[in-house]
Amino acid sequence: QGFKDNLHAVFCLAENAVGPRATRPDDIHVLYSGKTVEINNTDAEGRLILADGVAYACKDLGADIILDMATLTGAQGIATGKYHAAVLTNNEEWEKACVKAGRNCGDLVHPLVYCPELHFSEFTSAVADMKNSVADRDNTPSSCAGLFIASHIGFDWPGVWVHIDIAAPVHAGERATGYGVALLLSLFGGASEDPLLNMVSPLGCNGDPPPEDMERDSKRRRLV
């Protein structure tokens, strides 16, 4: 699609099947970030490999922008509905950009509350750095699930972190909708030389074609 920047796609996949090495309640895992996680909910398994994915992007790929996208929580459909995915980010500009990109391409997005100083305590554990599921499911569980992932790159990380929970809008009845492809192309379109993607991107482009002699931005944006 004309992307010239250093773009990586990390697929966080695991077979969710019962076996002798399956995760059990009260297990303690050491994740790739080095943080320990007490398992208090074996159904909250996806965030474990997502946490490893963002830690890998940070530590091994040296990414300065990390976007994770997953069908993470059923609560997303309650928080933002079946047409809007939920976005959680440490950067207000990127929050606005996600919303605008969604409107431009049709993959709609709506922000969640980002407040780790109040909500991350839901994962407090007496025997590990954190638990893998919240103590109170009435306290913005979709936001908290995203904060679990962010904690494995660190809330003081200077880069841009964006989490998009797409649990509800990815399907309609028994069919998949393909949600997310257009959103990513629109959001990161400013890093492409494709004029159409430049036009719909809310970042790095005003919609006008650049002059022929204009040099490309020298900063290499590493996108995940």
Question: Which pLDDT value is given to residue 204?
Answer: 66
Mean pLDDT of the chain: 90
How is the beta sheet containing 160-165 ordered, strand by strand? Answer: 65-70, 160-165, 85-89, 109-111
Question: Which pLDDT value is given to residue 217?
Answer: 43
SS3 192: strand
Asked if 203 and 187 touch (Cβ cutoff 8 Å), the reply is: yes
Would you put residue 204 in left (φ > 0), alpha (ψ -120 to 50) or beta?
A: left
Least confident of 53-57, 63-67, 129-133, 201-205: 201-205
Domains and CATH numbers, the chain: 27-200 (3.40.630.10)
Close Cβ partners of 180 (under 8 Å, ≥ 6 residues apart): 69, 85, 107, 164, 166, 170
pLDDT of 178 strictly over 50: yes
> What would the mean pLDDT of 92-117 be, rounded to a whole number?
97
Tokens for 67, please give them: 């976007």
Top pLDDT among 219 and 135 is at 135
Tokens for 78, please give them: 């309650």
Question: Which pLDDT value is given to residue 221?
Answer: 44
> What would the mean pLDDT of 202-209 be, rounded to a whole number?
58
pLDDT of 205 strictly over 50: no
